[in-house]
Amino acid sequence: MAAADAAEIKLFGKWSFEDVEVTDISLEDYIAVKPKFAVYVPHTAGRYQKRRFRKAACPIVERLTNSIMMHGRNNGKKLMAVLVDAIINSGPREDATRIGSAGVVRRQAVDISPLRRVNQAIWLITTGAREAAFRNVKTIAECLADELINAAKGSSNSYAIKKKDELERVAKANR
């Protein structure tokens, strides 16, 4: 039994990558939480920008860490599961783009690719944490933890969920 525990890679020696599942089938290939992508510390020094779509192979915790460069706190839930749920819930499925030429511009609803959904979800989560911490007594780490928890629950208290709903509402109006 001790050999099996020693072989398991845990993030910071605490959080396991086992039993973390991505419930959204379209994002499975773009959220890297499988044991294949397990790391002890989210700093692989990988060159994920050299080829197209290679950043999809970057561990999702490292992508969040690179985006915010801060850590959160543990509230008794599995860190990896909360992070994956937050990203799935806060990534918009539909957006509106500008189409037109010669001064006539109209908005058209378009589907968002899975990689952009993950990128936008991480960006919305980190932006929400930054804005919540700005001119506030709460630290950025506490605000990030609150944002992740609210986004994982799907709560409208989350900045990322509010922005996602707003983007999807605008896209629906422009169908």
Mean pLDDT across the stretch 9-24? 82
Q: How far apart are CA 17 and CA 161, in angstroms?
A: 25
Question: Could you give the number of structural domains in the chain?
Answer: 1
Percent of the chain surpassing pLDDT 90: 41
pLDDT, tens only, 103-145: 888 889 999 999 999 999 999 999 999 999 999 999 888 899 8
- Predicted confidence at residue 109, as pLDDT, reads 92
* 73: pLDDT strictly greater than 60: no
Inter-residue contact 90 to 164 (CB < 8 Å): yes
Q: Across the chain, what does the average pLDDT equal?
A: 84
- Predicted confidence at residue 70, as pLDDT, reads 47
Inter-residue contact 29 to 56 (CB < 8 Å): yes
Phi, psi of 95, deg, nearest 5? -140, 170
Band the pLDDT of 35: cuts 50, 70, 90.
confident
Predicted structure pTM score = 0.69
Residue range(s) defining the domain that contains residue 155: 2-173
Write the CATH number for 15: 1.10.455.10
Which of 20-24, 66-70, 108-112 is least confident?
66-70
Mean pLDDT across the stretch 41-61? 81
Mean pLDDT across the stretch 143-152? 92
Phi, psi of 14, deg, nearest 5? -120, -50
Reference 110, options 99, 97, 121; nearest CA is 97
